[in-house]
Amino acid sequence: MSKICCYRSFPLIPMLFIALYLCEGFFGLFPFSRIFFPLYFIFFLVGYKDVTPFTKPLSLLMISMVLSMVSCWLFHQQSIISSMSGYCTYAAICIFFVLHHFKIEPKLVEKVIFWMFLIFSICYIYQIMVLPKEIWVKVDEHINMNLPILLRRVRMVGMSLAGLGVFLSLNKILVGKKEYLPFFVLGLVVILLFGFRTLLAFVLVFSYVMVVRNYGFSYKLLLGFAFLFLVLWLFSLTQFGQDIFGFMMERQDNDQDFGNKDYIRYTTLFYYYQEHFQNFLEMFLGSGIPDRSSKSAYALYYARLEDFGLHYYDWGILGMSWMMGVLSLVSMIWYPIKAFFSKLPKDKVYLSVWFGYLFACGFTSAEFVRQGCFLIQGMVLYLITVYSYEKNSCSK
């Protein structure tokens, strides 16, 4: 890649407000228009010629989006302009190209990410506390209002920031900055409130991976994590802990598994591969993301599917490939794996570990493809690009 020798810095607060708004209107608080897709496409055009480790997979992702829009127009009569609103979430990853092309100060980008994590955590907890009042989320059937306040599982734009904040804070603690311990705890609490067992399990697994990457494997580390599990066990004995873990286990008991053909996720998989696609070309190019703001036949078709519990995003990366095509699947496997194996300084390991965590969750949950996540991915990929180059340069 081309050498990055000097960076442009800007005041933190304006950059933070820009990032918060690009994160789908401050986590869904403000309207977010389809005109942002052309803006993101301009971002792509600005920097796609720059040579970076992630230019090819991200370019492939953008190409797949455009091809799936064309496919949606051909097979489902949804205009390309109408399609743009559904693609804003995913095209936001093109922030990578702007950050790299204009060489934005990486420490500034890190500060923006950290403050976004803090703001998101506060907003998320506050939204739970004031339910059923709607601020950042729409109160619908997926929120069980009969549960205690802190057990109401809320899905909100930007949820991937919680995991990133956990890894960032842990990384800071590992390099001697103990003042980040409260932020580490905050991130864990928010993930507990999400109510997803998979996310909590993978956070613990990849926290261990980060510690090993910093210090290497040792039995002391195993003892340390045994102590962490002991703390979690003690937490589970408290009333709040029993409520949290009891809720998770209750969800598990109510869920069906892959051995049952009636299990809704298995049914979704079967439906898409056996019934949904009109032909191989549509499957390869993708059906296209429906414009949910319209009352077109295509939008109503997805509304009916979701009434039956058939949600393509429940299959994460794989499900998104049904909408955006096989090329998007290749891309969304390519760049997170490349990011995870990037060599970074010890105090930046959290960046690659977060991508390992996202990818590990990517086929069993919607974590990788949640609203707001692709903007954060683009920012993190930029930091990995910069710091991996600096790491490689210093090692020569």
Each residue's pLDDT tens digit in the chain (396 positions)? 444 458 888 889 999 999 998 988 888 888 777 788 999 999 999 888 888 999 999 999 999 999 999 999 999 999 999 899 889 999 999 999 999 999 999 999 999 999 999 999 999 998 888 877 778 777 665 555 666 555 667 888 999 999 999 999 999 998 888 899 999 999 998 998 887 778 888 898 898 888 888 777 666 666 666 666 666 666 656 666 656 555 555 544 444 444 444 467 888 888 999 899 999 999 999 999 998 888 888 999 998 998 888 889 889 999 999 999 999 999 999 999 999 999 999 999 999 999 999 999 988 888 899 999 999 999 999 999 999 887 676 655
Q: Phi and psi dihedrals of 53, rounded to 5?
A: -65, -20
Q: Give the span between the Cα atoms of 99 and 52, in whole angstroms.
A: 12
Query: Residue 132: is the preceding peptide bond cis (ω within 30°)?
Result: yes
- Residues ≥6 apart with Cβ < 8 Å to 35: 84
pLDDT at position 238, please?
Answer: 66
* Residue 318 · residue 299 · CB < 8 Å: no
β-sheet bridge partners, residue 8: 104
Helices 80-91 and 36-47, axial angle in degrees (round to 10): 60
Nearest to 155 by CA among 144, 168, 147: 144
Q: Give the span between the Cα atoms of 350 and 304, in whole angstroms.
A: 41
* Residue 239 · residue 147 · CB < 8 Å: no
- Three-state secondary structure call for residue 51: coil
- Residues ≥6 apart with Cβ < 8 Å to 197: 248, 251, 252
Its pTM stands at: 0.87
CA 68 centroid distance within chain: 21
**What are the structure tokens assigned to 306, written together?**
């979701």
Q: Phi and psi dihedrals of 33, rounded to 5?
A: -90, 160
Neighbours of 305 (CB within 10 A): 17
CA 331 centroid distance within chain: 15
Residue with tokens 């920097």: 47
Q: Give start and end residues of each alpha helix (H) in the chain.
A: 12-22, 24-28, 36-47, 55-76, 80-91, 95-101, 106-130, 160-174, 181-194, 197-215, 219-237, 239-254, 264-271, 280-285, 297-307, 316-324, 326-340, 349-361, 373-395
- Three-state secondary structure call for residue 8: strand
Nearest to 367 by CA among 349, 383, 379, 355: 355
Q: Give the span between the Cα atoms of 253 and 122, in whole angstroms.
A: 31
Distances (CA, A) of 297 to 76, 293, 303, 304: 8, 12, 10, 10
Nearest to 85 by CA among 27, 140, 24, 161: 24
- Three-state secondary structure call for residue 334: helix
Q: Which amino acid is at 202?
A: F
Q: Which amino acid is at 315?
A: W
Q: Give the span between the Cα atoms of 182 and 121, in whole angstroms.
A: 12
β-sheet bridge partners, residue 104: 8
* Residue 131 · residue 152 · CB < 8 Å: yes
* Residue 149 · residue 124 · CB < 8 Å: no
